[in-house]
Amino acid sequence: MRYNEKELQALSRQPAELAAELGMRGPKKGSVLKRRLVKLVVNFLFYFRTDEAEVGRRPGEQTGVGGAAPSAGFMEDPERKYHFECCSEEQCQEWMGALRRASYEFMRRSLIFYRNEIQKMTGKDPLEQFGISEEARFQLGGLKA
C-alpha cells in the first residue's frame, strides 16, 4: 500500500484508541526488547521512542494477533511479526482486544451487522443514500455477521 508521509505523521498525532509504553521486539531473530510508546490509531500501529521522536509505524491491516502476549503481523509482510510485552495480564488482554477490533475483518463484519440492523428498522439500505453501487458494497449482500 502507498501512504502519504505527511498524512501518516498527522494521523500519528491524533488521539489513540489505545496507547501505552510497552516492551517491543522487532521481527529479526535475536532482536532486543526495547521500551516504546505504542499507539493504535484506527488500524495503524505507531511506535515511538519514549522521548516522542517517531521511530516507525506499521500502517495497514494486521494479519493476526495471538499468543500469550500481543504480537502482530501485517499484510505487507505477514511472516515478520512484532512482539510486545505488557506490564500486566490485564494490559495484555486490553491490547489483544484492541488489535482484533482494529482489523479489517472485524470492521467489515461490524459494517454488515449495522447495515442489516438499520435496514430492518427503517426498511431502507443505508448505503443507497450515498450512491454506493451493489457491486461496491464490500460484498455485503447475503453475508451474516
Domains of the chain and CATH, by start: 5-102 (2.30.29.30), 106-136 (no CATH)
Task: Please provide residue 34's backbone torsions phi and psi, each rounded to the nearest 5 degrees.
Answer: -125, 150
Compute the mean pLDDT over every residue in the chain, rounded to the nearest whole number: 76
The arithmetic mean of pLDDT across residues 70-90, rounded, is 69
The arithmetic mean of pLDDT across residues 27-42, rounded, is 86
Q: Which helix (H) or strand (E) holds 94?
A: helix 89-101
- Distance separating alpha carbons of residues 12 and 44, to the nearest angstrom: 8
The arithmetic mean of pLDDT across residues 11-29, rounded, is 87
Per residue in 89-144, pLDDT (tens digit) is 888 889 888 888 888 888 889 988 998 899 899 998 888 877 775 555 555 444 44
Q: How many CA atoms lie within 13 A of 139 on its CB side?
A: 2
Give the global pTM.
0.64
